[in-house]
Amino acid sequence: MIPSSVREWFPILHQEINGHPLVYLDNAATSQKPRQVIDAVKRYYEWENSNVHRGVHTLGSRATDAYEGAREKVARFINAESAEQIIFNRGTTVGLNLVASSYARSVCGPGDEIVLTEMEHHSNLIPWQQAALATGATLKYIPLQPDGTIRVEDVEQTVTDRTKLVAIAYVSNVMGVVHPVKQIAEIAHRHGAVIVVDGAQSTPHMKVDVQELGIDFYAFSGHKMCAPTGIGALYGKKELLNRMEPIEFGGEMINDVGLYESNWKELPWKFEGGTPIIAGAVGLGAAIDFLEEIGLDAIEQHETKLAAYAMNRLSEIEGIRLHGPRERKVGLVTFNLGDVHPHDVATVLDAQGIAIRAGHHCCQPLMRWLKESSTARASFYLYNTEEDIDRLVSALIQTKEYFGDAT
Amino acid sequence: MQLDDLYRRVIMDHYKNPRNRGKFEDDAVTVDLNNPTCGDRISLQLKIDHGVVSDAMYTGEGCSISMSSASMMTDAVKGKSLGEALELASRFSALMQGEPVEFEEYEDIEALSGVNKFPARIKCATLAWNALRKGIESEQ
């Protein structure tokens, strides 16, 4: 159970937008931040701020302890084998780009295959396109079912001995589908390929155990899970990370620097050139403490319940097109309201204090597959309630009336 | 925030009954433009004879603001010299900045002045005009 007081911890939720109490339903884009995280970042800047891994002075040690302590928390949170397998970065996009630029480009050659789905976020698509263009590898797509799910037998068909890498989101940011990542990992491994999982939409909402899933790389962002923007992490299997060359060079990441050649620190620091996002990491650590105190299982249950409620209520609206499977675990609903353009829907909702996302959600290929130029998306988090969904539904009904025969 | 400031009757009329929507069968200056942040797209076609926009049509996908703006723009530039058309485009930019601009030759456009109060929607209204600028520049 999520304590009903949870909303009290999120200062931003207690305001009016355009004369109405804010209903924030754009959590798949970014979540709001609880007092605990805001205070942790403030405390860091007021008491611990210094650069890491170099200061002999006391603040240098405090900052290093805070930063590395956050790494330990992340490792425990996703059950990584060790903290050195957690590379801090700016977010999911950066983590996926590192794997594509370093790992994929070193293992792929002409005729090799990288396997994806058409549903991937641009950040889990374009890095692989670029790697394929650079290496001569081919991109292959696992076919989608009409409801946006994928079948394990289709994965079996698509992955071959030429496949070097399978890249897939654990949870789709548009369709709300949870992919069978554990089974896909087994298939990939049977063919000698590695699996890279985009965890942007799964990490905030469900318990993730990278060892239990048997995945090789896992990238996620802090800002979708109550942490500040600008911090994220990449997990990788140790032997793979050890084999990979850094792609950013400079301070913090070096061991020995000569005039003509240099070598690198050990994991994870060889991938963290430059002064890292220390306050962001501290905020991410505080967000993990916050989420663990409430419990990921409780959060998942809460969102599953909200998703079912939202699907039921929304399907009552005449002319609405709900995308993705009817049954869903994650709190995310994507839809089109008749012929009313999603931008117009979002503007009318905003006038009533309701924040949703409208557009292509960084998934242009998926929009083409859906045959929609854009869609509207409401996405929920631990602080959302059934009343929020009731307000969404009544605002959508008013939107339909406002646009009259356009629906 | 008053929704009716944004969605004025004139705008909804252009949205539901678009003018100049379609494609020319023969050659025309064609500009394809999209708004990568939201997926709106327009394909604008201009007939240009001796420095005058003799006719204009468009096809596209987008919200009421972007499509009504395209409808009005194509109506407004017909018969205008390239210089006059660019001047209209500049006045439209000023309108989006909240300046009190008048369009005595095509008053419908003034209905879009309310977009100024919805900063996220300004790029919707300017899409067609940006396509016009691009089309004219390609001819100059």
Q: How confident is the model at residue A404 (pLDDT cuts 50, 70, 90)?
A: confident
Q: Do domains A38-293 and A295-402 have the same CATH topology?
A: no
Q: What is the per-residue pLDDT across A239-276, written as a single tens digit (0 to 9) for each?
A: 999 999 999 999 989 999 999 999 999 999 999 999 99
Under 8 Å between Cβ of B120 and A342: no
The CATH number assigned to the domain with range A38-293 reads 3.40.640.10
Cβ distance B7 to A367 less than 8 Å, yes or no, reads: no
In this complex, the residue of B12, B39, B120 whose CB is nearest that of residue A373 is B39
Report ipTM (2 d.p.): 0.83
In this complex, the residue of A359, A403, A405 whose CB is nearest that of residue B38 is A359
Cβ distance B120 to A347 less than 8 Å, yes or no, reads: yes
Q: How far is CA A6 from the centre of its chain?
A: 22
Q: For a pLDDT cut of 90, what percent of chain A falls above it? A: 91
Cβ distance B16 to A406 less than 8 Å, yes or no, reads: yes
Minimum distance, in Å, between the CA of residue A344 and any CA atom of chain B: 6
Query: Sign (positive/negative) of CA torsion B13, A321, A123, A284?
Result: positive
Q: In B, which residues are within 8 Å of A19 by CB distance?
A: 1
Per domain, the residue ranges of chain A are: 38-293, 295-402
The radius of gyration computed from the CA coordinates of chain A, to the nearest angstrom, equals: 22
Q: For a pLDDT cut of 70, what percent of chain A falls above it? A: 99
Mean pLDDT of chain B: 92
Minimum distance, in Å, between the CA of residue A398 and any CA atom of chain B: 12
Cβ distance B38 to A374 less than 8 Å, yes or no, reads: yes
Question: What are the Cα distances from residue B75, in Å, to A316, B30, B82, B85, B106?
Answer: 40, 16, 14, 11, 8
Query: Of A108, A226, A362, A363, which is the active-site residue?
Result: A362
Correct CATH for A295-402 of 3.90.1150.10, 1.10.287.70, 3.20.20.70, 3.30.230.10 = 3.90.1150.10
* Residue of A373, A374, A403, A405 to mutate for B, most B C-beta atoms under 10 A: A373
Minimum distance, in Å, between the CA of residue B23 and any CA atom of chain A: 20
Give pLDDT, residue A355.
98
Q: How far is A210 from B116, CA to CA, in rounded Å?
A: 48
Cβ distance A343 to B63 less than 8 Å, yes or no, reads: yes
Residue of A nearest to B124 (CA): A343
CATH fold of B3-139: Sufe protein. Chain: A (3.90.1010)
Q: How far is A372 from A341, CA to CA, in rounded Å?
A: 10
Q: How far is A155 from A166, CA to CA, in rounded Å?
A: 10
The Cβ-side half-sphere exposure at A357, using a 13 Å CA radius, reads: 24
Give pLDDT, residue A406.
47
Q: How far is B65 from B7, CA to CA, in rounded Å?
A: 8
A108 is known as an active-site residue = no
Q: Got the DSSP string for B15-54?
A: HHS-SSBS--SS--EEEEEE-TTT--EEEEEEEEETTEEE
Closest C-alpha among A271, A102, A128 to residue A198: A128
Give pLDDT, residue A405.
54
Give pLDDT, residue A361.
86
| Stated length of chain A | 407
Q: Is the pLDDT of residue A407 over 80?
A: no
The mean per-residue pLDDT over the stretch A278-300 comes to 98
Minimum distance, in Å, between the CA of residue B3 and any CA atom of chain A: 7
- Binding-face residues of A in 374-403 toward B, CB within 8 A: 374, 402-403
Give pLDDT, residue B1.
60
In this complex, the residue of B3, B39, B65 whose CB is nearest that of residue A360 is B39
